[in-house]
Amino acid sequence: MTAHHELMTTYTATVTVRLKRGVLDPEAETTKRALERLGFELESLRSADQFEVDVDADSAGEAEDRADEMAQRLLANPTIHDYDVEVAEA
């Protein structure tokens, strides 16, 4: 453990990954129909994947930058996904 580490704070970065508008989502369509079969009335349903990542960082900005890079490198597929990142102290 170095002095540098002791100054770090743990942040939770929430990365929400959604399908871009126009990309077909058969799972959401199936879920919507299942809800309708149960008697629910709904106009539309979209699904998204959320990742809550705990990272040690010097600042909220650094935590957000790292989570953004995780989204670009692995969590989201830029061809079909949009994503957003929100950061809070854990």
Write out the residues near its own copies by the rule CB under 8 A: 10, 16, 28, 31, 34-35, 38, 40-56, 66, 69-70, 73-75
Q: Cβ 75 to its own copies, closest distance in Å?
A: 7
Choice between 31 and 81, CB closer to its own copies: 31
Choice between 3 and 84, CB closer to its own copies: 84
d(CA 12, CA 54): 4
d(CA 38, CA 26): 18
